[in-house]
Structures are given as C-alpha cells and as structure tokens.
Amino acid sequence: MRSDSAFYIGSTHKVCEDYAVSRDNIIVVSDGCSTSRNTDIGARIICECTKRWMENDVILTMAQNITNIMNVPRECLNVTRLMAFEKNDKIVIETIGDGNIIIKTKDGIMHVLSMNYAKSAPYYMNYIYNENKNKDWENIKR
C-alpha cells in the first residue's frame, strides 16, 4: 500500500487543520472542523492515536486523555478521519466525517469514494460519546 499527502491551507484559515500519518499497513488522514477551536491539534491527536490503536473507543478515550493533559478544549477533536489499512490481504477503508478517498487499482482504474453532508455538519468521531452532540446530529432533517 503506497500513499502520499499534500496540504493546502484554505484562504479563510489562519492555520492548517489537516494532518496525515502512514506506516507499513495504515494510512490516516484527518481534517479539523473550521468552526471548532484548535482542530489542528485535534487532527494530529486523532491521527497519532489511530496509528497506535485501531479500536475507535480506545482511540477516542486516549485522544480525550491527551486533550485533558494538554489543557485544550475537547471540541478540538471535531475532526474528520479517513483511514485505509491492510487486513487479511484486503484493503479496509473507514471514514468518520466528510471527505473523499481516491483509489487507483493495479489495473489503473480510479475509484472515488465521496462522503458529504449537504444539509448538516459531518458526524465527527468526537460525537460518539457526547450525548448532546449525538442527539443534535440525529435530529437534523436530512
């Protein structure tokens, strides 16, 4: 599995809210929600935690612990997370939030997976254990 990444800061942004990591069998990309504070930090935390622990409940628990230690608001974890990893000779793709994944197969065919939320904010990983955010998001009429 090969990957590459490039980041371009938005013209309305003061800081880049994107981050990516990869190692032998995993690629993780994260993009912070522009309306939440410190999501550049949250994007890094989520990517680094995902690289070490693959289970979402462990990732989120560790990420929340890190925000406590760093004394940054938990809303910094309002980030999209896109990941791909190898398992049993197959590529598994997992998305939380919005974004695009482009896959080029060995025969040169490109596939685009697009996740978007035209009528609401994306469902961010940070909402999983936030009862109020979870209810708010579920109540949005799509």
> Half-sphere exposure of residue 69, counting CA atoms within 13 Å on the CB side?
8
- pLDDT digits over 92-138, tens only? 999 888 988 888 888 999 999 898 887 777 888 777 767 677 666 66
* Domain residue ranges in the chain: 18-133
Across the range 60-68, mean pLDDT stands at 94
CA distance 44 to 79: 10
Q: Which pLDDT score is estimated for 49?
A: 94
pTM of the predicted protein model: 0.83
Q: Count CB atoms within 10 A of the CB of residue 36.
A: 19
